[in-house]
Structure 1
Amino acid sequence: MAEMSKEIPTISLIVSTYNWPEALEKCIQRVLKQTHLPNEILIADDGSGDATQEAIKRLKQDSPIPIVHIWHPDNGFRLSAIRNKAIAQARYDYIIQIDGDILIDDEFIKDHLALAKKNAFLCGSRVLLTQAYSKQLLNQSAVEKLNRFKFPLGSILNSLRIPLLSRIMADRYKKNKPRALRGCNMSFWKKDLINVNGYNESIQGWGSEDAELAIRLMNSGVKKRFVKFGAIAYHIFHKENNKDNVIQNEHILLQVMTKKITFTKNGMLKQQP
């Protein structure tokens, strides 16, 4: 039996993006192929230009569900801040979070719902696509099914969907360590995010924003569960992001871990010092 609430929760899907409209269009096309559609799609845009705006207009025309474009000016890598804006505007109970360079399996949302439990959040994995195969997919008019024979050997396991094993392993996966997570494949109850004040906006630039949020959730008593053999996500190849702020971000994360911090003052609601 699926481990979900008696009532299926309503879903806000948050998709983060920055100046890659070609990938975003493919991402949203896959979302609209879901066997269980979200109630809304929130595009958390970290300051993209006009090409992304035009792409979102086209996507809205083809979408049977609301697409909300949430944007702030481009002032460097501020993923935490734009995700907080999206969380604040989310209208529904359960938030599923992906990135705009992710292609999701048809059962992705269904698989998150199957493991959704009160006082818990979910972290999934991803299949890393090669540069050549990513280019091929981006050149297609639409992405229907992906070819497993073109996946790197190290990603094959992450491409297997086995619902029974997924349920069994949700709390037993040996690699489910506190920092073992991918922000491009997570889900939460909105109320739990509000209780910890969302993402820490002091974390800017690439790295640690998802782990820092996850640790605060766990410090507050929300359990981390892992989605293995389900919620399959395919990551389109791109060059690595700038990592200049990693040391500073890791310091913030370490403070949260050692001091058992649950609430960030620089989050969704700003607190006076």
Structure 2
Amino acid sequence: MKTALLISTYNWPEALELVLKSLIAQTVLPDEVLIADDGSRDETKALITKFKKESTLNINHVWHEDSGFRRTVILNKAIASTNADYIIQLDGDCIMHSNFIEDHIKNATVGIYLFGSRVNLTEELSAGAVKDQQIDFSFFTKGMTRRTRNIYLPKFGAFYKAKKELSKKVRGCNLSFWQEDFLKINGYNEDMTGWGREDSEMVIRLLNNDIYGKRLRYQGIIYHLWHPQAQRERDTINYEIQLKAEQQKLQTCENGIDKYLP
């Protein structure tokens, strides 16, 4: 099974540097690293170029011009560029637990997508982590919310079963799926621009294709750096698109990844 770690990023190289540092510390490395860049400036490009020179990893930096929040577009472009069997998706402001990639790979199962746990770091802890280049956080680290999500006990996670329903805990910053399943639903719906709902709408179409979702509890952990909330002026429109997919049991979308495929 060929795996690709997909990291989405936009104009926050300080956070991306920590994510890449946590990548090097992984117990299992991916076969490929896809950096889906939604139009970042030269500072991000310089960081990635430097990391590529210092690393033996296969790194593919997929970039397009900044034209507003187009996360769906850049994620589709990045996934279209790989022949990996399995995609592990992460946001560029989320530091990985050292077993993060190994946990997703060990739990990869045909007919199932996975979603892991996100521990939120406070503004103060996030600033300190960036300053000190901190990537390790214990259960007792001060400045964490959702602290119980930082308990690492994979054997307990085995009690969680796959379900055919949309969980409120699904987040695109900690998600993995088979590329074959993603292509079947035509990837992300690019009608969804601006912040909000693009991940849950995509997952609904997976569910409508009988791809069940399983939560990685007590494993698959990430640490989310604090940042101001994104503008949410498109949330209502995106919610209507999600609702349509749910009510009409849509299995694919028209404006998706197919336009980038060979």
Structure-1-length-normalised TM-score:
0.91
* C-alpha distance in 2 between matches for 1:219 and 1:177: 10
Of 197, 203, 219, which residue of structure 1 is paired with 2:186?
197
Candidates 23, 41, 44, aligned match of 1:52: 44
How far apart, CA to CA, are the structure 2 residues paired with 1:244 and 1:184?
21
Deviations 1:44-91 (A, max 9, x none): 000001110111111112222111110011000000000000110123
In the TM superposition, residue 213 of structure 1 has moved relative to its aligned partner by: 0.3
Distance, in Å, in 1 between the alignment partners of 2:104 and 2:123 is 28
1:179, distance to aligned residue in structure 2 (A)? 4.2
Counterparts of 1:116 and 1:101, CA distance in 2: 24
Task: Indicate if the aligned counterparts of 1:29 and 1:143 stay in contact, CA closer than 8 A.
Answer: no
- Corresponding position of 1:6: none
User: Which residue of 172, 178, 187 corresponds with 1:183?
Assistant: 172
Deviations 1:220-259 (A, max 9, x none): 1111111111011000010000000000000000000000
Q: Which residue does 2:61 correspond to in 1? A: 69
Aligned-residue offset at 1:156: 1.1
Q: Which runs of 5+ in 1 are unaligned?
A: 1-8
Indicate the larger mover: 68-77 or 145-154.
145-154
**Given residue 149 of structure 1, which amino acid in structure 2 is its aligned partner?**
F
1:262 equivalent in alignment to 2:251: yes
Shift of 1:113: 1.4
The 5 Å alignment of 1:1-273 reads: 9-140=1-132, 142-152=133-143, 154-171=145-162, 177-270=166-259
Question: 1:82-104 CA deviation, whole Å, 9 max, x = no partner?
Answer: 00001101231100000000100
The answer on whether the counterparts of 2:113 and 2:176 sit within 8 Å (CA) in structure 1 is: yes
Cα RMSD for the two superposed structures: 1.6
- Unaligned stretches of 5+ in structure 2? none
For residue 101 of structure 2, give the secondary structure of its aligned residue in structure 1: helix
TM-score by length of 2: 0.95
Cα distance in 1, alignment partners of residues 100 and 158 from structure 2: 14
How many pairs align? 259
In 1, the alpha carbon distance for the partners of 2:179 and 2:144 equals 36
